[in-house]
């Protein structure tokens, strides 16, 4: 079941909506779920009324940010599907690392038993698992590893605090080398 955020039809309203999502993602990453809605509106360059018109509740905003991340994971999977298997998988994992950061910021506010959450999880697996299987079938990934193993590995690594993005990428690269067959 693909998930997507319902965007307004008018171009100016869609720009505001997208700016609010980007600002919310940034604010939640910096300040967690307690990020100020006024700050999010300011970052997006809109008034607080525009924020509430698009997202009547804080929960609506959390869910929209989360769904948008899952939608981007799906888009990246489609965009990289024709790359060589290992390259496609690692390109998708780059987007997954970004998603993990957003998920960590808003997870406490999401209902993990909701239909939206289950649909997002299914969509994420539908996007990434074929890339994983393709890399495995090509002999690029160990046969004793599962897609779930990979997601847990990357999620665990990215929950750590790193000095900078270069260190995070280096540590992730070291871990992913263990995914390769010997």
CATH number at residue 25: 1.10.10.60
132-170 burial, b for 16+ CB within 10 Å, e for fewer? bebbbeeebbeeebebeebbebbeebbeeeeeeeeebee
Q: Please provide the average confidence, as pLDDT, over all residues in the chain.
A: 87
In a domain, 104, yes or no: yes
Percent over 90 (pLDDT), the chain: 50
88 and 169: one domain?
Answer: yes
Give the residue-averaged pLDDT of 89-103: 83
Please tell me whether residues 69 and 94 are part of one structural domain. yes
Q: Are residues 41 and 121 in the same domain?
A: no
In terms of domains, do 44 and 71 share one? no
Q: Identify the pLDDT of residue 148.
A: 94
Q: How confident is the model at residue 40 (pLDDT cuts 50, 70, 90)?
A: very high
Per-residue pLDDT at 127: 94
Q: Do 64 and 130 belong together in one domain?
A: yes
Q: Per the structure block, which two tokens stand in for 72? A: 């981007």
Structural domains of the chain, count: 2
Q: Residues with Cβ < 8 Å from 115, sequence gap 6 or more?
A: none
pLDDT value at residue 165: 82
Q: Mean pLDDT throughout 53-79?
A: 90
Q: Is the pLDDT of residue 94 over 70?
A: yes
Residue 142 has pLDDT above 60, yes or no: yes
Q: Mean pLDDT throughout 73-79?
A: 94
């Amino acid at each position: 079941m693909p998930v997507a955020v319902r965007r307004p039809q008018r171009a100016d309203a869609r720009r505001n909506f997208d700016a609010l999502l980007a600002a919310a993602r940034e604010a939640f990453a910096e300040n967690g779920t307690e990020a100020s809605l006024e700050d999010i509106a300011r970052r997006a360059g809109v008034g607080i009324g525009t924020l509430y018109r698009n997202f009547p509740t804080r929960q609506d905003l959390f869910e929209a940010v989360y769904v948008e991340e899952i939608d981007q994971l799906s888009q990246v999977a489609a965009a990289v599907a024709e790359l060589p298997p290992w390259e496609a998988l690692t390109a998708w994992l780059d987007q997954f690392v970004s998603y993990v950061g957003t998920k960590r910021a808003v997870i406490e506010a999401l209902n993990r038993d909701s239909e939206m959450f289950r649909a997002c999880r299914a969509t994420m697996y539908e996007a990434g698992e074929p890339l994983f299987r393709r890399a495995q079938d090509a002999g690029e990934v160990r046969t004793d590893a599962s897609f779930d193993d990979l997601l847990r590995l990357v999620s665990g690594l990215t929950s750590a605090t790193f000095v900078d993005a270069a260190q995070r990428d280096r540590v992730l690269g070291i871990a992913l080398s263990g995914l390769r067959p010997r």
